[in-house]
Amino acid sequence: MNSARIRDNLLAVRERIAAAARRSGRDPSAVTLVAVTKKRPVEQVRALIEAGAADLGENYPQELWEKVEALADAPPARWHLIGHLQGNKAKRTFPLVRMIHAVDSLKLLRTLDEMAADAPNPPEVCLQVNTSAEEAKHGWKDASIIDDAGAIAEISRIRVVGLMTMAGWGTDAETARPSFVRLRAIRDALRRQTGLALPHLSMGMSNDFEAAVEEGATLVRVGSALFDGVEP
Ligand SMILES: *Cc1c(COP(=O)(O)O)cnc(C)c1O
C-alpha cells in the first residue's frame, strides 16, 4: 500500500516540478529532484528508489551512512548530504555522496578541501547562504559571502558548484520567493567575483519548490510531499 502511495506522490511531485519549469520557460530536465528521506524507514526509501527516485538526500551523516549500507542491494541511487556536516564526519561521508549541499563557513570549506586531497572522487559542494535574515540558520549571512570570493576562488581540490538556501520552515511559496530571487542574485555576483561557473542553486522544499523552480532552482530538496499519507 505504502509503495503505491509513494510512487503516486513521486510522480505528482515530478509533474509539479515540470509544470513550474515550463511556466518559467525552463527545461524540466534542468531540475533535479533530491528526495529527502530523513527519519523515514529504510523500506519506504527502498520503495522510493524502486519507483524511480535517483537522487536521495539525508540531513544527518550518521543516518546517511546507515541508510546507504542498508540499501546496498537496492537499485543504485546518488546520495546528497543536505544538512550540516562537521569536519570529523567528512572522511566517512565523502565516498558515499555526490554532493554536500550545506557547507556553511569558509572554515569548513577549507577543511573539506584539505580532506579532498586524499579522496579519489570527492563530492561537489554547494555553499549555504542565509537569505531570510533568521538568526538561527547556518550559513553565510546574505551577501557577506561576496567578501569571501577570493578565498572561495582559491579552493582547488573540491568543486564548488553553487549555492544553497532554506527559505524557512512552514513558509508558503510566495513568502519564500524573495529568498530564491536573492540567492540567484548572490550567485550571479559571486560568479563574477570568482570566475567559477556555479551552475547550481539548491533551493525549494515541499511547501515552496514550485516558486524555487520558477526562480531558477537546479536542485529541489523535497521530503514530506513524497510521503504524504504515509505514516513514518
Ligand atoms: C527536511 C529538509 C528538507 C525537506 O523538507 P520538506 O519540507 O519535508 O520537503 C529540505 N532541505 C533541508 C535542509 C531539510 O532539512
For residue 201, how far is the Cα from the chain centroid? 8
Say yes or no: CB of residue 223 within 6 Å of ligand 1: yes
Work out the pLDDT band at 172, boundaries 50, 70, 90.
confident
Residue 201 lies in a domain: yes
Residue 92 lies in a domain: yes
Range of the domain at 122: 3-226
pLDDT in the model for residue 133: 67
Cell numbers representing residue 15 in the block: 509533474
pLDDT in the model for residue 179: 95
**pLDDT tops 80 at residue 17:** yes
Mean pLDDT is lowest, of 93-107, 134-148, 192-206, for 134-148
Residue 231 lies in a domain: no
- The predicted model scores a pTM of 0.97
At position 173, the amino acid (one-letter code) is: A
> Which of 34, 44, 59 for a ligand 1 pocket mutation test, highest count of atoms within 8 Å of Cβ?
59
CATH assignment at residue 200: 3.20.20.10
Sign of the CA dihedral running 71, 77, 83, 85: positive
For residue 112, how far is the Cα from the chain centroid? 17
Say yes or no: CB of residue 221 within 6 Å of ligand 1: yes
When divided into structural domains, the chain yields a total of 1
Residue 232 lies in a domain: no
Cell numbers representing residue 196 in the block: 567559477
Q: If you average pLDDT over residues 63-83, what whole number do you get?
A: 97
Q: What is the DSSP letter of 170?
A: T
Residue 115 lies in a domain: yes
Report which ligand 1 atom has the smallest distance to the Cα of 209. Answer: 9
What per-residue string of b and e applies to 28-40 under the rule 16 or more CB within 10 Å gives b? Answer: eeebbbbbbbeeb
